[in-house]
């Protein structure tokens, strides 16, 4: 059987295309998230935050990397 994509709404999986299965038959599947409607906005927000520069006043933070190591 081919892969069927569905949308989860109000506690029910709704196929995005017609499915040819007998009424009331039982099926077994493992949901795999393929995307969310807000993915693009969320990813853009993460990129914006990561692109900010933090000014600590120190020009070479790596120089002190092992300072607090046991």
CA gap 29, 37 in Å, rounded: 22
Residue 24: per-residue pLDDT: 93
Residue 3: per-residue pLDDT: 86
User: Phi/psi at 39 (nearest 5 deg)?
Assistant: -55, -45
In this predicted model, what pLDDT tens digit does every residue of 14-50 receive, in sequence order?
999 999 999 999 999 888 888 766 666 777 888 888 8
User: Phi/psi at 55 (nearest 5 deg)?
Assistant: -100, 100
The answer to whether residues 16 and 6 touch, using CB atoms and an 8 Å cutoff, is: yes
The answer to whether residues 14 and 6 touch, using CB atoms and an 8 Å cutoff, is: yes
């Amino acid at each position: 059987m081919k892969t069927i994509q569905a949308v989860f709404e109000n506690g029910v999986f709704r196929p995005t295309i017609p499915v040819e299965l007998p009424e009331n038959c039982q099926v077994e599947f493992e949901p795999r998230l393929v995307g969310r409607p807000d993915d693009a906005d969320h990813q853009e927000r993460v990129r914006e935050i990561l692109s900010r520069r933090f000014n600590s006043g120190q020009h070479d933070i790596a120089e002190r990397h092992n300072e607090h190591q046991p």
